[in-house]
Structure 1
């Protein structure tokens, strides 16, 4: 079926296009034919990669290729022990990566769970309940309160019908449904003559003709967009891939040069030279780096979980530290998704209502003092009208430990308002009612009140103004309209409240009773208020150089008012969804940075906005809680869903879930992400000199034509043992004080700065050069090959142990801060020493790795050398600090 703008068609045109009967529905025979043509009302299954393919993907890395090549060459040369060990290292790296993976697409399954399992339709002229999957275009569906709508419908009848669409559109209020055709260029939330799949009926009844099923529905389009959204690689993965390619290129070039040099200019046998080159390649590859990165990220995940943020994939931890823009949904994220009375306007006084949400906590005040309804009859009547002329219920849910409402949120907040009154109020017994109707925009009730009957009336202020003016020509309409506008400019939805008294003979009311003797009581301004903690979090994000942009399905005025309360800059106004639709992707990329508030947005708008910001070079976090947010959550660098009020769809599409729905938790997660990234860089600053030192020693040995100081197996031991012990300590380094005062790092920032590269080369030369000199000294003496290997191995490892304490901060002195601040550093140093004793003195380790026992006094050389390395680097840091200060 062609994709029509169904909201623009009249009921008759819809009936004609769908070839159906809006009174009798379809026949079973016609429905069966249409199922064969359109398919069942079910969402398509996503294509999933087999587990073996996911596992093999973790070996798709250039450094892994180098290791595998080394394993093959050692196998061909008959060194099977070396081959097995190298292969095991590669296998461990692949297993760690596979276990990290948590990318299974469950969002589509979550959307399916939102579909109603059955529907009441008219077939063959009779009402019958059928499975929702058997609905077809043209079916006539009946709606009643509580129903979850299973397809997209063009409404053909609506009796006070209200639909809760926040999961799809992001708006907190229910939508009053209408029947008349609408303009073409309006957003999803304004298509009031349609009812959408996945939403639910809050009040009233209605009938609708099915216009879209399965993937053709708005929910289905979201489903398809989730599946089609390109997953964005995290900055860390991008950087490590570039880093890996650079290292692989260097390794290949140096290995080829070393082989040619050794083959033509030195007297090495081919097999021996190949082993030397393999040893050189293995030496330069940081095999332990993937494992230690995983450990640091995993610790970050645990820390974030302690702070109420559940991160579903390890690289996302680091991504948070690079976030430069947070695109936040308004409803339920920055706001509570609970309509709240904010102000009351009586004839001569404006009152403020404290507290937020449905919890009856707060008070009604004037100039900071309690304003009692006992002393103001008008206020008392207004509050009494709010609880009597009301179809909602307020209750405390023991399971969720939250105050909740059933019914319309606008009415529910009036119940909470009455609970905040100084004197308790109870609804009056209703003897007659005029239900709310979207055509009339008001509701009225008649109740017994003492020795008289009273009619309470609430609804759209303009309608009540007209009624009050018809009762009293001197009613100051202009003054009340000005007061109403003042509330509206604050982003508040305004409700008018009025009354009329009768004698006890009056038993029923009708619309004709509303235009005589009406007493206007006042206005109530309500809104979905910002979370107090969100205001603080927005300010902290901006202090850290992170932009906060609000993307919402709500109206422009409301969005701007909330933005102002949150402290989001709104000088440029708000860009609306219809404006976004008219812009090309290139045009949107150019203007997206000018706005911080985006209103009346569709799911497609949100995804395009995220993409446009990414095109500008931003690392984008997108928060949300509704189905409508899922594609944008998927597209963003880091999607953040709400854990309490978020739909399952949004939770599964996101990379992070906020357990407490607290926007401030995002800021805590960003802080942890920056700490993790800093510690990852320190880890690389620590590990690479180990590889550099070994590579330097081996390369110089080939150039000098001397005996190789370490075997490939011993090199693997050094790389892995340093990574799994000493590097582990860096993961526990605390956040640097200045971290949250600096701007987010640019997207293309290299993993290693120029200073880091300088430090790595310097430490590599110091450790490698010192080890080489000592190795040449031993080669000139009467020492066994095993002794030389053992002493060389211990010298490099112990030097790295002392270097650990250099890298805890970039340029600050390690001795200027508490030396024992991070006790893990001492624990892992002890573990490292134990491992070196193990490989040095245990016989089977001597046999496996070609080492030998040494005298106790021989340990002085590695330790003295390590202390020297520590103080040389501390001197370099002192010089670097002074240079930086001068700049």
Structure 2
């Protein structure tokens, strides 16, 4: 049956082309804001840009055309940098959207092929099966025990059974297949679908900000408020000293500009978007930005067995025939009884198989059957996979009324409905243990007979004859032992959560070097535990077998109660609730159902668990680098603020050492440093042998924040020291300003290098591969050189010529203001070695 697709030919290539030309692509297109317009709106609302506009206007108003033009150019430059960063982020996210494009199966020219959902056209024969999200509206032309969850349209959570002969024979875009299989002729795509017609309401749904984004936004808002208060205070001080409204306003705006940390939100957006893009290049699609934040905190990974620890390449390996009590090798010629068992197991499978075990049964059947009965038998009734433990039953009939009722499922389920004698049960259990302890996945197979068409409501009501066991071998992936060791080294606990039995799971776990392979609990046992017992068991147990959706969800929630940050892998419909509940839901890109992919926050395109090691490493790197960037911003803002404020507040001889021109110059140097250098920093070598960072409600702990503040105060001490040295040496305001500016720039450069690691020495980090470090620092030095040695620029910014000794003194003070932190790092390394 798999080969003829129920005699449905589907559209030809020419018909597909004509349909697409007539109806367009299968996409929902509503009102879209231009990315450029949105970015420009955002820039126009930035406090720094508003301040620049105000200051620039004042300069023009007072006749300082040169200063006004410089600030106007600065506005363009700030906007250009912001647009560049925004375009990098948007481009990264657009590429992510392409990778998350859902796929669907269609029959074209008699062949079943997989295409992107947007390539679907009206008239296509769409094949939909359990776990799929339906990609368009259509009318059912064939179905097997087919039901759909239409809650997205109706709000009704119960699945609705549909088939071609019923009045309700239509399917809709966005709904999900709860059970069975169907083929539907597509009647509407994109905006013409039922969902498309009501989809306008989706435009106004705003994306919720992540906790970290909220923290950063609140921090920036507080700094804006502080800036506003200080602005008023400084304006008042200057005004009552000079009674010059415009001059005092300019000086107050200078300080307000120095306080605003507008680089922080830009850095956050850049790091998260580019982090997601970097993950995508590794074959890891991040659907939600908050996942990038959470990855580095993962403490537990709950992994499925089949297809995650194993290859998901099922081959029929062994057969146990109850009548002969023999365990046969499926790769050898089979006896008549063994062939009969394979035939029955095939009939208990889907007519168009997609599960690897069912594919293997169809292939095994095709090898020894002279006449293919699949061409003459049609499905009359189907009982989908259900029960605890699960089983499934199919009823087929041919044109002469000959009937086959075949069932397969967990051996325990088949034993329970088969009425075996005590000795037969013992024989079956012995065979199960023999097969399972070698790592085989075992299914029981049974047959029933029934007259009439008034079939029982449940499959368990049939009286089955137990025929035997079919055992499949799914070899472990070769890289899994190494992957597990990497998780363990990173302080991440690994737990196996599977629907398979304990013996098979334990055997595979033992083969791959899984720690705690002998500590297992079943789904039924787990559901009987009290909340307190469950909380303890999820910590002690490492292998969870015969799991079903409710049990999986209980495991995730119990781990969360223990304050674990939980990542979970899954691929099936029944994994959806647990994937949604986990902090990091991980769906498999190849074997994962659309429901699993929708519920997950991250998709592994190659179904390779080793990618999760890379994802965790990337998450840790992104988070650490973002911290470095923001700590740098805090540390360098403190001396700018205090160097502007203290001479004024303390009544020093040159109270306004910096003007708005100098502040914006410093901002233009700092912005690229924090968001380009630190974003591009490689992962530190000890990153994956540390325990996961605590997932707290605050971005910085007090130690980290104190470090940044002390670094900022040390640089302030350096800038104010050179200020006093210059004044006591008889320097004028221009020379003093030049020395202070060079000291601040030098401190900025050395701080950039020192803070590349808060553990390793600057000599170690100089070997880190980051080509942008030399580029940005070189550009900073070049700009400073131009300001010092090109007379028009020197005069414009109010600088003056300084001697080589003065220049060297400023640079040395800048170095000393920062390099002391190397001693703190050295003590940390010594302490770590003695532990």
Q: CA deviation at 1:731?
A: 3.8
Q: 1:534-569, CA deviations, whole angstroms, 9 ceiling, x for partnerless residues?
A: 6765675466455667888x6998998899787799
The one of 233, 237, 245 equivalent to 2:209 is: 233
Q: CA deviation at 1:493?
A: 4.8
Matches within 5 A, 1:198-209: 207-209=165-167
Is contact 1:333-1:662 (8 Å) kept?
yes
Secondary structure in 2 matching 1:523: strand
Counterpart residue number, 2:79: 91
Residue 743 to residue 458, structure 1, CA distance change in 2 (3 Å): same
The one of 357, 360, 365 equivalent to 1:413 is: 360
Q: Does 1:428 align with 2:404?
A: no
The CA distance in 2 between the partners of 1:131 and 1:238, in whole Å, is: 44
Residue 787 to residue 310, structure 1, CA distance change in 2 (3 Å): farther
Residue 268 to residue 615, structure 1, CA distance change in 2 (3 Å): farther
Counterpart residue number, 2:57: 75
Q: Does 1:758 align with 2:746?
A: no
Q: Does 1:382 align with 2:328?
A: no
Counterpart residue number, 1:774: 722
Q: Does 1:663 align with 2:609?
A: yes
The CA distance in 1 between the partners of 2:431 and 2:797, in whole Å, is: 84
The CA distance in 2 between the partners of 1:292 and 1:479, in whole Å, is: 66
The one of 667, 672, 692 equivalent to 2:618 is: 672
The one of 263, 275, 282 equivalent to 1:307 is: 282
Counterpart residue number, 2:227: 251
The CA distance in 2 between the partners of 1:211 and 1:798, in whole Å, is: 74
The CA distance in 2 between the partners of 1:393 and 1:278, in whole Å, is: 75
Residue 410 to residue 631, structure 1, CA distance change in 2 (3 Å): closer
Residue 680 to residue 630, structure 1, CA distance change in 2 (3 Å): same
Secondary structure in 1 matching 2:781: helix
Secondary structure in 2 matching 1:805: helix
Q: CA deviation at 1:463?
A: 13
Residue 297 to residue 851, structure 1, CA distance change in 2 (3 Å): farther
Q: CA deviation at 1:711?
A: 1.7
The CA distance in 2 between the partners of 1:725 and 1:142, in whole Å, is: 51
Counterpart residue number, 1:36: none
Q: 1:226-269, CA deviations, whole angstroms, 9 ceiling, x for partnerless residues?
A: 999985533442332233234334434443444444445x5574
Matches within 5 A, 1:57-206: 58=42, 64-65=46-47, 68-69=50-51, 71-72=53-54, 75-76=57-58, 78=61, 80-81=68-69, 84-85=72-73, 87-88=75-76, 91-92=79-80, 94-96=82-84, 98-99=86-87, 100-101=89-90, 161=144, 195=161
Matches within 5 A, 1:563-712: 573-574=522-523, 599-601=547-549, 640-646=586-592, 656-705=602-651, 706-707=653-654, 708-712=656-660
Q: CA deviation at 1:797?
A: 0.8
Matches within 5 A, 1:329-408: 339-341=314-316, 343-345=318-320, 373=332, 382=338, 386=342
Q: 1:100-127, CA deviations, whole angstroms, 9 ceiling, x for partnerless residues?
A: 24778979x978978999xxxxxxxxxx
Q: CA deviation at 1:383?
A: 6.3
Q: 1:366-395, CA deviations, whole angstroms, 9 ceiling, x for partnerless residues?
A: xxxxx9837xx65x973697489958999x
Matches within 5 A, 1:482-881: 482-483=429-430, 486=433, 492-496=441-445, 523-526=469-472, 537=483, 540-541=486-487, 544-546=490-492, 573-574=522-523, 599-601=547-549, 640-646=586-592, 656-705=602-651, 706-707=653-654, 708-725=656-673, 728-779=676-727, 783=731, 785-815=733-763, 817=764, 819-822=766-769, 824=771, 825-842=773-790, 845-846=793-794, 849-851=797-799, 854-878=802-826
Residue 326 to residue 72, structure 1, CA distance change in 2 (3 Å): farther
Q: CA deviation at 1:610?
A: 8.2
Residue 272 to residue 114, structure 1, CA distance change in 2 (3 Å): farther
Greater RCO, CA 8 A, separation 6+: 1
Q: CA deviation at 1:680?
A: 1.7
Residue 71 to residue 116, structure 1, CA distance change in 2 (3 Å): farther
Q: 1:450-489, CA deviations, whole angstroms, 9 ceiling, x for partnerless residues?
A: xxxxxx998658999999999xxx9962333324664689
Residue 558 to residue 206, structure 1, CA distance change in 2 (3 Å): farther
The CA distance in 1 between the partners of 2:362 and 2:613, in whole Å, is: 34
Is contact 2:271-2:675 (8 Å) kept?
no
* TM, length-normalised to structure 1: 0.62
Q: 1:586-640, CA deviations, whole angstroms, 9 ceiling, x for partnerless residues?
A: xx999999999695439xx999998998898776656555688789878876564
Q: CA deviation at 1:665?
A: 0.7
Residue 885 to residue 753, structure 1, CA distance change in 2 (3 Å): farther
The one of 46, 50, 66 equivalent to 2:33 is: 50
Residue 480 to residue 297, structure 1, CA distance change in 2 (3 Å): same
Q: CA deviation at 1:693?
A: 0.9
Q: Does 1:321 align with 2:296?
A: yes
Q: 1:54-89, CA deviations, whole angstroms, 9 ceiling, x for partnerless residues?
A: 54774598xx33652463355356374465356446
Unaligned runs of 5+ in 2: 1-25, 109-120, 152-156, 178-193, 384-391, 399-403, 448-464
Q: CA deviation at 1:681?
A: 1.4
Secondary structure in 1 matching 2:471: strand
Is contact 2:523-2:547 (8 Å) kept?
yes
The CA distance in 2 between the partners of 1:147 and 1:575, in whole Å, is: 30
Counterpart residue number, 1:17: none
Residue 728 to residue 215, structure 1, CA distance change in 2 (3 Å): closer
Is contact 1:59-1:94 (8 Å) kept?
yes
The one of 471, 479, 487 equivalent to 2:426 is: 479
Report the number of matched residues.
712
Q: CA deviation at 1:213?
A: 5.5
Counterpart residue number, 2:181: none
Unaligned runs of 5+ in 1: 1-42, 118-129, 134-140, 170-186, 197-204, 353-363, 365-370, 395-403, 420-424, 447-455, 499-518
The CA distance in 1 between the partners of 2:396 and 2:253, in whole Å, is: 88
The CA distance in 1 between the partners of 2:73 and 2:233, in whole Å, is: 26
Q: CA deviation at 1:781?
A: 5.8
Q: CA deviation at 1:674?
A: 0.1
* TM, length-normalised to structure 2: 0.65
Is contact 2:633-2:674 (8 Å) kept?
no
Greater displacement, 720-729 / 218-227: 218-227
Is contact 1:322-1:747 (8 Å) kept?
yes
Is contact 1:814-1:874 (8 Å) kept?
yes
Q: CA deviation at 1:715?
A: 1.6
Counterpart residue number, 1:25: none
Is contact 1:132-1:150 (8 Å) kept?
no
Is contact 1:334-1:663 (8 Å) kept?
yes
The CA distance in 2 between the partners of 1:608 and 1:372, in whole Å, is: 41
The CA distance in 2 between the partners of 1:106 and 1:726, in whole Å, is: 27
Secondary structure in 2 matching 1:720: helix
Residue 547 to residue 342, structure 1, CA distance change in 2 (3 Å): farther
Q: Does 1:276 align with 2:258?
A: no
Is contact 1:622-1:639 (8 Å) kept?
yes
Is contact 2:136-2:173 (8 Å) kept?
no
Residue 338 to residue 235, structure 1, CA distance change in 2 (3 Å): farther
The CA distance in 1 between the partners of 2:122 and 2:675, in whole Å, is: 58
The CA distance in 2 between the partners of 1:49 and 1:484, in whole Å, is: 62
Q: CA deviation at 1:211?
A: 7.6
Q: CA deviation at 1:700?
A: 0.8
Q: CA deviation at 1:671?
A: 0.8
Is contact 2:579-2:596 (8 Å) kept?
yes
